[in-house]
Amino acid sequence: MQISTHELKSKIIESLKLQDITPEQIDDDAPLFGTGLGLDSIDALELVVLLEKDYGIVIKDIEEGRPAFRSVQTLADFIAAKRPQ
Amino acid sequence: MRETEVVIAGCGAISAVGCGIETLRDALKKNSSGLRPLEKFSSPRFQSNVAGAAPRNFDDDNPAWSLATEALQQARESAQKILAEIPAGRIGLVLSTTKANIEALERISENRPCSETARRHLQANLLAADLAAAHGARGPVQTISVACVSGLIAVQQGAKLIQRGEADAVFVVGVDCLSEFVVAGFTALKALDPLGCRPFDAARCGLSPGEAGAAIVLARKDFAADSTIKIRGFGGSNDANHLTGPSRDGSGLAQAIRVALKSAKLSPQEIDFVHAHGTGTSYNDAMESLALKTVFGETSPPVSGSKGMLGHTLGAAGVLETICCVLAMQNNFLPGTPRLQTPADGAPKSLLREPKFGLRVKNVLKLNTGFGGMNGALILSHE
Amino acid sequence: MNKISIAAASIVTEADLPSARLGQRFGRLDLQSQLALLAVASLKINFDEFARDRIGICLAASAGSLSTDVNFWNGRNGIGGPSPTLFAYTLPSAAVGEIAIHFHLTGPDLCFVGDDKNLLAEAADFIRRGDADGCVCVFCEAVTAGCAEMISLPQTATAGAIFLKRGGGLREWREFDRDMKALCALILQSKSAG
């Protein structure tokens, strides 16, 4: 089942406590790390926690998550694919 | 006032390799490791159960007090004759710790027995005050908490108190204890090596937590004529880069080293040995290697690290590892790097896997770095 | 030039935080780091007048990092485990790190647990020894309700900062000027009066 990118963006904003930004201002395909939203390594770990807490997905190895974390869209696709039914 | 010489008059330690300075010295000479799998951290909620536990009672509700007291008692005993000449009002205490008696937080939150004193020592400054009172230090008391550089900064603060004339002797005490709090935290950061840390190794992938109590008695040289190891220089800096990751190029640590060398009036070539921070994480060891290359070029002095033996003892590390340097200087040997097998590409070419004996060690550079971009470099000199 | 002066002072409380405009990531900081960073920002120092590696930071945290320690520990049983972000702030020196990162200050740092009585003297010592040309001094009192339950300090959320520098400034610093809170209040009062 596809994940609404709007919902995912809200969760990211809430979990990472981003200020002065709305889901509408985050582009589906913009990079999450480095440039774009400019998230860092601690944020990556926090997103791993989010995936387990909200979607039941356990990432054993951070490298496994790397391609998924490229953008909101790739993360949404990853969740849709890995989410326990 | 800066001309006042500050020397090391005594030491005490309790750590993963056992209790007492002689035990630590023997472990350094044997290059052994005190890291072990612990039942306490064997649940799946922890990334690794390998840690450096001190020989102490794990039912103790105040391990911070116990470890600190043991180390300080040893240190005072070893500096007995010198301290006998100094009134209590001229003896200060500087405590270095990151988590003080965090054990109490765990107990209170789970309604397990926790004494008032154990709870009181959640506050590091009260732990410091009580240690000072119990050990006859009625001079200035300071509580330092600067992440993993705390210990080195505490040594420097102790030296400053003496140089400024505020004290004639200072007990520098470092303590941090193994706790579920810390292991859960490093697990959340995925920073632990499941097999135990391997500083500077090609296969390194994380740190191992450790606990220790470590104490150094610093004194004015005029009170300690026979003490031959002095605090010669110090430098501190901040990477201003990221909260948990060091600046990738090592420039902040290189800056701290340069400031230390300048304050010691030494050139890089005059350093005989570098005791590294060497946590075993991918980033730290790479950064440290770069910093050393920046300062020393291709010919860095012999380098080694002790966290494969002791684990990362956080607030105690700077004090405990300074004591390792003192033991090396007093016994004419260079420690090796326990648990190192294959040095990583980019590790210093002068990295020592095994100890080297029969060497006069005159000038030692001790390094530590910590979360929040902290860097510290201490220089000790042997007469 | 042996003179050391106070260039600016500030005091902030929790009430000032919602209107703080200190970047998109301000929300991630723990209470203590937010208060400390806002206190330093409120000094409105132009750090460009200095070499960044010649500015030190001295901070005193009355309760260490215990408020954040309690928050972190309370989350230990959550699905996915406790927050990695919170763990990074379970150190009183995290606030120092955030100040250093925000203003790019790469000089020497000190962080104490307890009261601020030694802060200005230590900062002055940095300057006198030649380790720094200026020093940001910050006192923090971040005691949440959960923390106050554990320890002997009252619940509070405030921080204040003073910038000490070599040479002239708003007011000369003297050896006996030890009470940071009182000094901040005095300077702010005379600024609003004058």
Tokens encoding B207: 């740190």
- Please judge whether C25 and A18 are an interchain contact, meaning their C-beta atoms are less than 8 angstroms apart: yes
Residue of B nearest to C84 (CA): B188
Residues B168 and B238 in one domain: no
Chain A partners within 8 Å of B245 (Cβ): 40-41
Q: Is B311 left (phi over 0), alpha (psi -120 to 50) or beta?
A: left
Boundary (domain end) residue, out of B176, B196, B223: B223
Considering the domain boundaries, does residue B2 fall inside one?
no
In total, the C-beta contacts within 8 angstroms joining chain A to chain C are: 37
Chains that touch C (3 or more CB pairs under 8 A): A, B
Does the beta carbon of B283 lie under 8 angstroms from any beta carbon of chain C? no
Q: Are C109 and C96 in contact (CB under 8 A)?
A: yes
Chain C partners within 8 Å of B153 (Cβ): 110
Whole-model pTM: value is 0.97
Side chain identity, residue B32: S
**Å from A16 to nearest chain C CA?**
6
Give the model's pLDDT for residue B246: 75
What is this model's ipTM? 0.97
Residues B194 and B47 in one domain: yes
Q: How many CA atoms lie within 13 A of B149 on its CB side?
A: 33
- Please judge whether B123 and C105 are an interchain contact, meaning their C-beta atoms are less than 8 angstroms apart: no
C67-83 per-residue burial string, b: 16 or more CB within 10 A, e: under 16:
bbbbbbbebbeeebbbb
Chain C partners within 8 Å of A17 (Cβ): 27-28
Give the model's pLDDT for residue C1: 61
Q: How many CA atoms lie within 13 A of A60 on its CB side?
A: 1
**Cα dihedral across residues B30, B368, C35, C134: positive or negative:** positive
Secondary structure (DSSP) of chain A: -PPPHHHHHHHHHHHTT--S--GGGS-TTSBSBSSTT-B-HHHHHHHHHHHHHHH----SSHHHHTGGGGBHHHHHHHHHHHS--
**Distance, CA of A85 to CA of B102 (rounded, Å):** 41
Residues B359 and B300 in one domain: yes
Does the beta carbon of B165 lie under 8 angstroms from any beta carbon of chain C? no
Residue B203: other Cβ atoms inside 10 A: 10
Centroid of chain to Cα B127: 18
Number of domains in chain A: 1
- Please judge whether B373 and C66 are an interchain contact, meaning their C-beta atoms are less than 8 angstroms apart: no
Q: Compute the CA torsion angle A24, C19, C109, B193 (nearest 10 deg).
A: -40
Does the beta carbon of B371 lie under 8 angstroms from any beta carbon of chain C? yes
Query: Which range (B109-113, C21-25, C88-92) has the least confidence?
Result: C21-25
B-interface mutation test, from A41, A49, A64, most B Cβ less than 10 A away = A41
The residue behind tokens 């710790």 is B97
Is residue C67 predicted with pLDDT exceeding 90? yes
Residues B297 and B165 in one domain: no
Residues B219 and B236 in one domain: no
- Please judge whether A41 and B243 are an interchain contact, meaning their C-beta atoms are less than 8 angstroms apart: no
**Å from A10 to nearest chain B CA?**
23
**Å from C33 to nearest chain A CA?**
14
Chain B partners within 8 Å of C89 (Cβ): 243
Boundary (domain end) residue, out of B206, B223, B240: B223
**Distance, CA of A10 to CA of A8 (rounded, Å):** 5
**Distance, CA of C176 to CA of C194 (rounded, Å):** 24
Give the three-state DSSP class for C132: coil
A-interface mutation test, from C19, C22, C25, most A Cβ less than 10 A away = C25
Residues B58 and B180 in one domain: yes
Tokens encoding B242: 């990221």
Nearest to A20 among C24, C81, C88 (CB): C24
Task: Name the band, by pLDDT with cuts 50, 70 and 90, for residue A78.
Answer: very high
- Please judge whether B181 and C53 are an interchain contact, meaning their C-beta atoms are less than 8 angstroms apart: no
Instruction: Kindly report the CATH number assigned to the domain that includes residue B49.
Output: 3.40.47.10
Does the beta carbon of C15 lie under 8 angstroms from any beta carbon of chain A? no
Give the three-state DSSP class for C48: helix
Residues B202 and B333 in one domain: no
Residues B251 and B190 in one domain: no
Chains that touch A (3 or more CB pairs under 8 A): B, C
Q: For residue C175, count CB atoms less than 10 angstroms from its CB and return exposed for 0-12, middle for 13-18, buried for 19 or more.
A: exposed
Domains of chain C (ranges, CATH numbers): 4-193 (3.40.47.10)
Which residue range(s) make up the domain with B26? 7-223
Return per-residue pLDDT of chain B as tens, 383 residues: 457 999 999 999 999 999 999 999 999 999 999 999 999 999 999 999 999 999 999 999 999 999 999 999 999 999 999 999 999 999 999 999 999 999 999 999 999 999 999 999 999 999 999 999 999 999 999 999 999 999 999 999 999 999 999 999 999 999 999 999 999 999 999 999 999 999 999 999 999 999 999 999 999 999 999 999 999 999 999 999 888 877 789 999 999 999 999 999 999 999 999 999 999 999 999 999 999 999 999 889 999 999 999 999 999 999 999 999 999 999 999 999 999 999 999 999 999 999 999 999 999 999 999 999 999 999 999 99
- Please judge whether B145 and C84 are an interchain contact, meaning their C-beta atoms are less than 8 angstroms apart: no
Does the beta carbon of C80 lie under 8 angstroms from any beta carbon of chain A? yes
Give the model's pLDDT for residue B1: 40
Q: Are C88 and C32 in contact (CB under 8 A)?
A: no
Give the model's pLDDT for residue A3: 83
- Please judge whether B236 and C125 are an interchain contact, meaning their C-beta atoms are less than 8 angstroms apart: no
Is residue C34 predicted with pLDDT exceeding 60? yes
Residues B162 and B132 in one domain: yes
A-interface mutation test, from C17, C19, C22, C24, most A Cβ less than 10 A away = C24
Chain C partners within 8 Å of A48 (Cβ): 80
Chain C partners within 8 Å of A42 (Cβ): 84-85, 88
Which residue range(s) make up the domain with A61? 5-82
Number of domains in chain B: 2
Query: Which range (A38-47, B21-30, C39-48, C134-143) has the least confidence?
Result: A38-47
Q: Are C132 and C56 in contact (CB under 8 A)?
A: yes
**Distance, CA of C103 to CA of C48 (rounded, Å):** 10
Give the model's pLDDT for residue A2: 79
**Distance, CA of B218 to CA of B173 (rounded, Å):** 11
Give the three-state DSSP class for B282: helix
**Distance, CA of C148 to CA of C189 (rounded, Å):** 30
Per the prediction, chain C carries an average pLDDT of 95
Chain A partners within 8 Å of C26 (Cβ): 19
More confident residue, A66 or A50: A50
Is residue C194 predicted with pLDDT exceeding 70? no
Boundary (domain end) residue, out of B196, B223, B250: B223
**Distance, CA of B337 to CA of B323 (rounded, Å):** 16
- Please judge whether B245 and A45 are an interchain contact, meaning their C-beta atoms are less than 8 angstroms apart: no
C-interface mutation test, from A9, A14, A17, most C Cβ less than 10 A away = A17
Residues B103 and B176 in one domain: yes
C-interface mutation test, from A37, A40, A46, most C Cβ less than 10 A away = A46
Give the model's pLDDT for residue A85: 73
- Please judge whether A18 and C27 are an interchain contact, meaning their C-beta atoms are less than 8 angstroms apart: yes
In sequence order, what are the beta bridge partners of B143?
A: B95
Considering the domain boundaries, does residue B1 fall inside one?
no
Does the beta carbon of C28 lie under 8 angstroms from any beta carbon of chain A? yes
Instruction: Kindly report the CATH number assigned to the domain that includes residue A35.
Output: 1.10.1200.10
**Cα dihedral across residues C33, C38, C43, C48: positive or negative:** positive
In sequence order, what are the beta bridge partners of A33?
A: A39
Q: What percent of chain C stands above pLDDT 70?
A: 99
Contacts 24+ apart (CB under 8 A), B81-88: B82/B9, B82/B10, B82/B169, B82/B217, B82/B219, B82/B223, B82/B224, B82/B227, B83/B9, B83/B169, B83/B217, B83/B219, B85/B223, B86/B168, B86/B169, B86/B219, B86/B223, B88/B136, B88/B137, B88/B138, B88/B139
**Distance, CA of B57 to CA of B55 (rounded, Å):** 7
The secondary structure of residue B207, as a DSSP letter, is B
Chain B partners within 8 Å of C129 (Cβ): 2
Is residue A1 predicted with pLDDT exceeding 90? no
Q: Which helix (H) or strand (E) holds B258?
A: helix B251-264
Does the beta carbon of A58 lie under 8 angstroms from any beta carbon of chain B? no
